[in-house]
Structure 1
Amino acid sequence: MKKIIIMGAGGHGQVVADALIQMDGATPVAFVDENRKLHGKKVMGIPLPGGNSAISTIEHDGIVLALGNNELRKRIFTELSDAGHSFFTVIHPSAIIAPNVIVGDGCMILAGAVINTGTVINDNTIVNTNCTVEHHNVIGPHVHIAPGATLGGEVTVEEEAMIGIGATVLPRITIHNRAVLGGGATAINDIPAGITAAGVPARVKDR
């Protein structure tokens, strides 16, 4: 049984813990969180001994970064990778993943997600509850696809991009680096790097 540390004990972290509990062959042995009010307590019956520095004191086989903020998740992933730590990919047993899908390290694929044939999910990416990722997508590292989002075939989502709750991306669209597609939006054209687009069809928000 692999022993897994979950970084982040907030709502998303608890959803990830629930998925991990339901998996075979792995178990959450601890949360770590920078919120000092939680130190020394239990969350979902799982010990929370301290902040990130407590990782070195906990026997473990892998870490999951259950942090919704892409920039923060990327930074910590890089720091821990450089320090030699290993990451664990959590896949809820109700997720449907085609046999030839490639999933990177430290990903979180949650309840009801569907990932279809030919898709690549890169490291440290969240595919949240009830997402649909259609055939031959390329999802970059440190991406967050929020609950209920739908991506058509041959979509590209680049590094650190965010697809909001219930958003739709039409086939062969690219969501570029660090772009945000707002909740409920529909992307009918490529979304440029670093901007936020919202609405149906999605348009760049005023700054």
Structure 2
Amino acid sequence: MSALVFIGGGGHGRACLEAARSTGLIVAGFIDRDSQADMQGTPWLGDDDWLSQATEGPRFLITVGQVKSAAVRMRLYGQLQALQLPLATLIASSAVVASLSRLGKGCAVLHHALINAGADVGVNCIINSGALIEHDAVIGAHSHVATGAIVNGGTRIGSRCLVGSRAVVLQGVTVADDVVIGAGAVVTADVNEAGTWVGVPARRVS
């Protein structure tokens, strides 16, 4: 199996590095605009321009985090696609991904996350530590299900969404594209428009 190159050397990058090491994967280096980023001994290869010079061999994982906006992760994803560079998928050793689920390319599933049978997770998603994606749920491309969030069975989360830490999306609910669900919110009914939703039950605030 080829080595990985991480794109992003911040906190999410370090979390992904720990997950990769837990599975025995080799991270050959990382790229970041900050050459001083601390990636625990992993070599810095350069900034985003390094991608245009990349040779065949490594697989790539976008390890820039996602809070509120998926714009940076989407830009990097598009750049990788345009350059025809292969995307990696990372599953931490303590995460559980059911064999009857689907996980898109470029996803990171971090420690103690669970993706249950029949779930469908789109490309370039973050399923963060302790998150739970129940059976037959759908997570759209470029979305982030944050730490400890619960997406119940049969739920449909749109693309470019953020489900905040400890948020709960109840059974069968549909969430539109470009929605931010605040930390600790409980979504009890369909969310039909983009914006930020908070509270119990969740209500749109912006």
TM-score by length of 2: 0.93
Distance (Å, rounded) in 2 between the aligned partners of 1:136 and 1:63: 28
1:139-164 per-residue CA deviation (whole Å, 9 max, x = no partner) reads 11100000000011101111101100
Is the Cα–Cα contact under 8 Å of residues 35 and 44 in structure 2 kept in the other structure? no
Alpha-carbon offset, residue 174 of structure 1 = 1.2
SS at match of 2:79: helix
Q: Equivalent residue for 1:138?
A: 138
Alpha-carbon offset, residue 175 of structure 1 = 1.5
Q: Equivalent residue for 2:150?
A: 150
Q: How does 1:101-180 map to 2 (within 5 A)?
A: 101-180=101-180
| Structure 2 unaligned regions, length at least 5 | none
Q: Equivalent residue for 2:27?
A: 28
Distance 1:57 1:98, change over 3 A: closer
Q: Please identify, of 132-141 and 63-72, the stretch whose mean Cα deviation from structure 2 is larger.
A: 63-72
Q: How does 1:1-207 map to 2 (within 5 A)?
A: 1-24=1-24, 26-38=25-37, 43-55=39-51, 56-57=53-54, 60-69=57-66, 70-205=70-205, 207=206
Is the Cα–Cα contact under 8 Å of residues 140 and 160 in structure 1 kept in the other structure? yes
SS at match of 1:200: coil
Is the Cα–Cα contact under 8 Å of residues 179 and 192 in structure 1 kept in the other structure? no
Is the Cα–Cα contact under 8 Å of residues 3 and 59 in structure 1 kept in the other structure? no
Is the Cα–Cα contact under 8 Å of residues 11 and 65 in structure 2 kept in the other structure? no
SS at match of 1:30: strand
SS at match of 1:20: helix
Please list every run of at least 4 consecutive aligned residues from structure 1 whose deviation after the TM superposition is greater than 3 angstroms.
57-60
TM-score by length of 1: 0.93
1:86-125 per-residue CA deviation (whole Å, 9 max, x = no partner) reads 1000000111111111111000000000111101111100
Distance (Å, rounded) in 1 between the aligned partners of 2:128 and 2:36: 27
Is the Cα–Cα contact under 8 Å of residues 5 and 31 in structure 1 kept in the other structure? yes
Aligned residues: 202
1:52-78 per-residue CA deviation (whole Å, 9 max, x = no partner) reads 122335764211001223121012101
SS at match of 2:3: strand
SS at match of 2:6: strand
Is the Cα–Cα contact under 8 Å of residues 128 and 144 in structure 2 kept in the other structure? yes
SS at match of 1:44: coil
Is the Cα–Cα contact under 8 Å of residues 29 and 60 in structure 1 kept in the other structure? no
Distance (Å, rounded) in 2 between the aligned partners of 1:168 and 1:118: 19
Alpha-carbon offset, residue 192 of structure 1 = 2.7
Identity %: 30
1:179-202 per-residue CA deviation (whole Å, 9 max, x = no partner) reads 000000000011233210000110
